[in-house]
Structure 1
Amino acid sequence: MFTLTQLTSFVAVAEELHFTRAAERLNMTQPPLSRQIQLLESELGVQLLDRTNRSVRLTPAGRAFLVEARRILRQSEHAALAVRRVSLGEAGAIAVGFTAASAYSALGGLLETARAALPGVEILLQELVTRDQLKALGEGSLDLGLVRPSAVGADLTARTVVREGLLAALPAQHPSAAEAGPMRMEDFAGEDFLMYSPIEARYFHELLAGIFRAAHVWPVFTQYLAQVHSILALVNGGWGIALVPESAARMRFGGIVFRSVTLADPKPVELNIVWRKGNENPALKALLRHV
C-alpha cells in the first residue's frame, strides 16, 4: 500500500512539473524524491508521470490519481487535526446526567458554558435521579452528573454549583395563597403536605424532615413523591401544599401560588456537579476548567 510520503511527493511533482523544484519544496534532494515516485507507481502498477530530460508531464492515469491523492492528503490532515482537538478537549463528547429539577437551575448555565467555551464538543444528556447518576458515574457511562448532595465514594469528586432557597407551593384557592409576606414554619402545622419520597428523593426528604423537626412543626404528609413536577401537579390539583426549590417556579404551573418562606438557612438547597476522579476524557477536563 502506498504511503502518505509517496502521495505528498507525487502531488508536489504533479503541481510543479519539475523534480528539482518539487524537491526544494519538500526540503529534500531529488534522488529520494524520484525513488518515492517509483515506489508509488510500482505499488499502483501504472505510470503516473512522463519524464524526459527536459519536461515532466502527467499521464491520463496521473491526472486522475492527482485528484484522489489531494483528497486523501486533505482527509489525513483533517484526521490529525481532529485527534489533536480531542486530546486538547476541544472535540469529542461528554455524557452529562441531570435530575429533572436541575433542568430548571444549573443545566441551562452548564450547556451555555459548554457551547461558548467548547463548541466542538458534543453534550449527551441523560435524565436520571441522583442515585442512578452516581451508579452510572462509577461504571463510566456518565462523565458528569448534576446531583443533589449525597454520600459519594472515594472515587468521585463533588463540587457545589448552585445554592437556592425553598418556596411554598400553594393551590390558588388555599387561604394562605392570598396573603402577603413570607410564610413561617408554624404555618405548615397540620396542613396536608406533599412530601418527597424517602427513597427516590432521599435528599429532599431528609432536608425537609430536618427543617420541620428543628421547627417542631408537623404537617400531615398525604403523599410521598420523587419528582418536583409531580408534586406541583398534585398541588395544582388541590391535594396539598409543598415546599419546592426556588427554581421550580420556572415550571410555570397554572393554578399555583408560590410564597417565600422564612428559614434559619435561607438557601438550604444545594446542587452539585460530580465526576469520577479517574476519568481521562479530555473534553471533561476542559469543561471543568470553565464551570
Structure 2
Amino acid sequence: MGRAADRLGMAQPPLSQSIARLEKELGVRLFDRANRRLALTRGGVAFLDKARSSVRHADAASALARSAEHGTAGEIRIGFVSAALYEHLPRCLSRLRQMHPDVQPRLLELSTNEQLDALAEGAIDIGFAHPPLGTGDRLDIVEFPGEANVAVLPEDGGTGRVSLAQVAALGLILFPATQGPVLHARIMDSFTQAGIEVRVVQEANRALTMLALVSAGLGAALLPQSVQRIVFQGVRYAEITDATLPTLSLCMIARRRPQLAIVHRVWQIFSKA
C-alpha cells in the first residue's frame, strides 16, 4: 500500500481510507489482507477490469473534448445540391477523412435557397450551392470551375451528339425557376436565342428525379457533364452540337467569420481539396 501511495504521489493513510470507503460503498471486499500482504479478491479482480476500462473511456472522452475544442473532432453539418455529389463533395469528404477521421460529417441534400435559409438559421455549417447567390456580403464563398451541360435523353440506341432542337422536341425536364432563377432564365434564353420554342414538361428539384423522369420517357434534361458518372438504365448522355448553353457553376458557402474552430478547419480542408 505504501508503494502504491508513492506512485500516486500521496500519503498512505488517505489511500487506505479511500479504498475502505470504496469497499463500503460497493459492499464488496476488494483485498485480502493477511501477513502484511495484500491480494485482490475475486470481486477485486472483476472490479479492476471495469475500473481500468472506465479510466480508458474517461481519458478518451477528455481527448475527444480537447480535439473538438480545436476543431479536429465533432460533427460538421453540410448542405449540398445534387451536382456536388458527382465530383466535388466526394473529393472533399475523402480529404477530410484522411486528415481528421474524428470529424463526422452530417449531410443534408438541400436546394441553394434552402441552404441559404439553413445557414442563416444555423441549421448547417457549410453548403455546396449554385451561384449566383445575391448574399455575398454575408457569406464566405469559394467558387469551383463551371461545368458544361450535356443532354440527358431517353435511351434510343443512339450514340452521337444531338441538337438543341432535338432536345426541345422531347420536351424539357427542368428545375423550378424559384430554385435557381438566374440559371433557369439563362437556359431558357439559350433556346430563344437559337430560335427554338421549348416547353417545360416537368419540373424536378433533384438530379436523380430528372434521370428517372427521362428514363420513363417524359422528356429530356440538361445536367452538368459530371453526371455521366451515374449509370442510369433507360437514359443516354449526349453532347449538344449547335448551341452554347450556360455552364453550371458550383460554390462552397459558409457564414462569415467568426466561425467555430471545426467549421474553420473543415472550410480550409475543403478549399484545398
Q: Would the alpha carbon gap of residues 261 and 230 (structure 1) be closer, same or farther in structure 2, given more than 3 Å must change?
A: farther
Write the distance in 2 (CA, Å) between the matches of 1:268 and 1:258.
Answer: 16
Match of residue 118, structure 2, among 136, 151, 160: 136
- The structure having more radius of gyration, on CA atoms, is 1
> In the aligned structure 2, how far is the partner of 1:48 from the partner of 1:120?
38
Q: Per the alignment, in what secondary structure is the counterpart of residue 169 of structure 1?
A: strand
2:91 match? 109
Matches within 5 A, 1:213-224: 215=193, 217-223=195-201
Q: Structure 1 residues 222 and 35 mapped into 2: Cα distance closer, same or farther (>3 Å)? A: closer
Encode CA deviations 1:79-128: one digit per residue, 9 max, x unaligned. Answer: 11221222233322222222223222322222222222222222212212
CA distance in 2, matches of 1:221, 1:249: 24
* Residue-by-residue CA offset, 1:23-68 (whole Å, 9 max, x unaligned): 4434x3x53x43243245346537766779x944146465555444
Q: Which amino acid in the other structure matches residue 81 of structure 1?
A: A
1:57 to 38, 44, 49: 38
Equivalent positions of 1:157-172 (< 5 A) are 157-171=140-154
Match of 2:236 in 1: 256
- Between the aligned residues of both structures, percent identity stands at 27
| Structure 2: unaligned runs, 5 residues or longer | none
Among 81, 85, 98, the residue aligned to 2:63: 81
Give the TM-score, by structure 1 length: 0.71
Tell me, which stretches of 5 or more residues in structure 1 are unaligned?
1-12, 14-18
Give the letter for the 1:158 counterpart. Answer: I
2: CA distance between counterparts of 1:255 and 1:68? 58
Q: Is the 8 A contact 1:163 1:270 kept in 2?
A: yes
Shift of 1:282: 3.6
The alignment's C-alpha RMSD in Å is 3.7
Q: Number of paired residues?
A: 262
For 2:139, give the aligned amino acid. L
Where does 1:1-291 land on structure 2 (aligned, <5 Å)? 13=1, 19=2, 21-26=3-8, 28=9, 31=11, 33-42=12-21, 44-45=23-24, 55-58=36-39, 60=41, 65-149=47-131, 150-152=133-135, 154-171=137-154, 191=169, 193-194=171-172, 195-212=174-191, 215=193, 217-223=195-201, 225-226=203-204, 227-237=206-216, 239-253=218-232, 254-261=234-241, 268-277=247-256, 280-291=259-270
CA drift at 1:246: 1.0
Q: 1:243 to 1:64 in 2, by over 3 A?
A: closer
CA contact (8 A) 2:80 2:108 kept: yes
In 2: Cα distance, 1:131 partner to 1:257 partner: 28
Contact 1:88–1:283 under 8 Å retained in 2: yes
After superposition, the Cα gap between the structure-2 partners of 1:80 and 1:261, relative to the gap in structure 1 and judged at 3 Å, is farther
Post-superposition CA distance 1:165-201 (Å, at most 9, x none):
1223345559xx6655x85x7x579756414421134
* TM-score relative to the length of structure 2: 0.75
1:98 alignment partner AA: F
TM-aligned CA deviation for residue 285 of structure 1: 2.8
**Taking structure 1 as reference, are residues 80 and 239 closer, same or farther at Cα in structure 2, changes over 3 Å only?**
closer
SS where residue 45 of structure 1 aligns? helix
Find the aligned partners of 2:207 and 2:44 in 1 and give their Cα distance: 68
Provide, for residues 213-263 of structure 1, a one-character-per-residue CA deviation record: whole Å limited to 9, x for no partner.
Answer: 6x4644322325233344444545555544321122233343434114566
Deviation at 1:148, TM superposition (A): 0.8
